[in-house]
Amino acid sequence: MDQQARGILAAAIVEALETGLPIAPLPPGRGPADAATGDAIAEAVLDLLEMAPCGLRLVMQPDGSSRAGPMLESRLLRDGAALPAPMLRHARVSAAAVGVLGAPLSDGPPVLAAVLPAIDIATSRFRDGATSAGEEAADLGGLGHVVTGKRGALPEAAVAASCAMEPRRPRGVPVDLAAAFAAAADAARALGGLPAGGLLVVAGLTPAATPAAGEDWTARLAGLGRARVRVVAGSDPA
């Protein structure tokens, strides 16, 4: 993928972010060949938007791997936020947690001033969804919105994480948040580090699910708290 093609895709992602209009599927072989190329395109997207990330978002994958992308302050929402279903293209919700750095990243475990339970709503700017790791990386790692609950402290032991449509309250799956934040910190160091106050977002703590209009979804982290989002009918924002 040459520099001109990267620039065209970056501009298309910016347009999709600003207008809500999706990107048509790329011709075979014309998209970013790998995640590294996608990351470079994502950097170009942020430059065009004139936005600096407030942290890093790490999404745990079902196969045990993870994918890192930028976190933007404008994509953080408070507990109980309502989002229009049309803007949530190929949405996937999962339990998440947000760690606020109490000190700049250095060697060793990250120093967290606070931890917030969260629900991650991943989306895609591509009309048919990202078809490769490179496309997803270019699309800011599938960043949609992160809805946060009340501030707390990092639990000492593993927590039970769940994410479900109300009123269901399924049994949670055990999650080692300390290990998840350590992995996010490693990814952030590889990209140059983060200052005090920066955010480490760990998403995909539960299997991803697809929300629909009229549903309330709640993510719970036992011993830490919960975060809830409402999906409503509405127009795709311009």
What DSSP line would sit under 191-222, residue for residue?
Answer: TT---TT-EEEEE-SS--B---TTEEEEEEET
- pLDDT tens series, the chain, 238 aa: 889 999 999 999 999 999 989 999 998 888 899 999 999 999 999 999 999 999 999 999 988 899 999 999 999 999 999 999 998 999 999 999 999 999 999 988 999 999 999 999 999 999 999 999 999 999 999 999 999 999 999 998 899 999 999 999 888 999 999 999 999 999 999 999 999 999 999 999 999 999 999 999 999 999 999 999 999 987 544 3
Q: Closest Cα to residue 74, out of 145, 19, 178, 150? A: 145
Q: Closest Cα to residue 41, out of 23, 65, 62, 20? A: 23
Domains present along the chain, CATH in parentheses: 3-232 (3.90.850.10)
Q: Closest Cα to residue 205, out of 134, 155, 135? A: 155
> Rounded to two decimals, what is the model's pTM?
0.93
Sign of the C-alpha dihedral computed for residues 3, 8, 11 and 13 taken in this order: negative
